[in-house]
Amino acid sequence: MKNILEINNVTKFYKNSVKALENVNLNIKEGEIFALLGPNGAGKSTLINSICGIVNFNTGTIKINNMDIVKNYRTTRKITGIVPQELNLESFETVWNNVNYSRGLFGKKPNHNYIEKLLKQLSLWDKKDNKIKELSGGMKRRVLIAKALSHQPKLLFLDEPTASVDVELRKDMWDVVKKLNKDGVTIILTTHYIEEAEELSDRVAVINDGKIILVDEKDKLIKKLGEKTIKIELFESVEKINGNLSKYNFTLDQTNKIISHTYNLNSNTTDITELLNDVKKDGYKIKDINTEQSSLEEIFIKLIQENNNELVRN
């Protein structure tokens, strides 16, 4: 699949000399949902604002569809849409005017049929004559999405799309994002909700302190960096783990009946068959076996902590 977005060695300093982005390199494939994860202030919004032309970056190049976004800004911006993190809308304008205004800004001829279809898809049609100030937060978020889609972009940036929205609306938003992607829109979303990235994305990048510290497919990332814990529930309580099992670093829970062992999915150090044989050899009777895999959130925290420790060391 070809790259729709190529970011090469992009660096951005703010006026107060704060380095917001440092040598960022990233390629986004056409048709994928890409999640950019990072803590607050990591540089997520600066990166997408740089791509969309909202802030100027200092060095490096950004290409959309193999075209430089500075030299060919007219062509590249026509196929790009952005949903900002904040609910930045003109309160006294109607939904209809707001969305049509956005389409015009992006150089598109008025198309009331398309805007009608779009508002219906986003459940905004019955609110089309309402002023923005009369809408709920969730509705406003939908208006922002409608505005970003008004000119039919191929590449859509969602900056924290579900920040401060309730759980129900978050699920609705996810459905909207999935539908858009199904319709052929490449989506890049920034989030610090790992659950969101886990639910939606094909690939994930982690950014910290302005640097991309990891890019990988979500599933591979979980597999590569994820840990798995096997929990074995025994019929009888155990005082101390010894014998053949002592080599596995088992831990005991408070009831002394569940023994747990954590291992890395990617390493071959743990042979589960052998482990279970050792349990049997030591005379334990197994009541139940359960395994738990580390979530993207745990991986993310681990990565950020490692990166922060490295920064402190340097």
Residues of this chain that bind another protein (CB under 8 A): 14-15, 49, 52-56, 73-75, 77-78, 80, 82, 84, 86, 88-93, 97, 100-110, 147
Question: In angstroms, what is the minimal distance from the CB of 103 to another protein?
Answer: 8
Alpha-carbon distances of 117 from 2, 179, 180, rounded to whole Å: 30, 14, 13
Question: In angstroms, what is the minimal distance from the CB of 174 to another protein?
Answer: 24
Question: In angstroms, what is the minimal distance from the CB of 114 to another protein?
Answer: 14
Give the whole-angstrom CA distance, residue 109 versus residue 7. 31
Residue written as token pair 């909207």 = 176
Phi/psi at 294 (5° precision)? -70, 140
87, 121 Cβ separation under 8 angstroms: no
Q: Which is nearer to another protein, 104 or 137 (CB)?
A: 104
Cβ-proximal residues to 190 (8 Å cutoff; 6+ apart), any chain? 35, 36, 37, 38, 44, 45, 47, 48, 85, 157, 158, 159, 160
244, 282 Cβ separation under 8 angstroms: yes
Question: In angstroms, what is the minimal distance from the CB of 78 to another protein?
Answer: 5
Q: Which is nearer to another protein, 50 or 162 (CB)?
A: 50
Question: In angstroms, what is the minimal distance from the CB of 47 to another protein?
Answer: 13
Token digits of residue 78: 């026509």
Question: In angstroms, what is the minimal distance from the CB of 53 to another protein?
Answer: 5
In the chain the first and final C-alpha atoms are separated, in Å, by 38
In the sheet that 80-83 helps form, which strands lie side by side, from edge to edge?
80-83, 155-159, 186-191, 33-37, 203-208, 211-217
Give the whole-angstrom CA distance, residue 229 versus residue 250. 10
Q: Which is nearer to another protein, 89 or 304 (CB)?
A: 89
Cα 231 to its chain centre, rounded Å, is 30
What proportions of the chain, in percent to the nearest 5, are helix, strand and coil? 40, 30, 35
Question: In angstroms, what is the minimal distance from the CB of 145 to another protein?
Answer: 13
Q: Which is nearer to another protein, 36 or 89 (CB)?
A: 89
Q: Which is nearer to another protein, 101 or 235 (CB)?
A: 101
Identify each DSSP E strand in 69-162 by its residue range. Answer: 80-83, 155-159
Q: Which is nearer to another protein, 110 or 243 (CB)?
A: 110
Question: In angstroms, what is the minimal distance from the CB of 79 to another protein?
Answer: 10
Q: Which is nearer to another protein, 93 or 199 (CB)?
A: 93
Q: Which is nearer to another protein, 104 or 243 (CB)?
A: 104
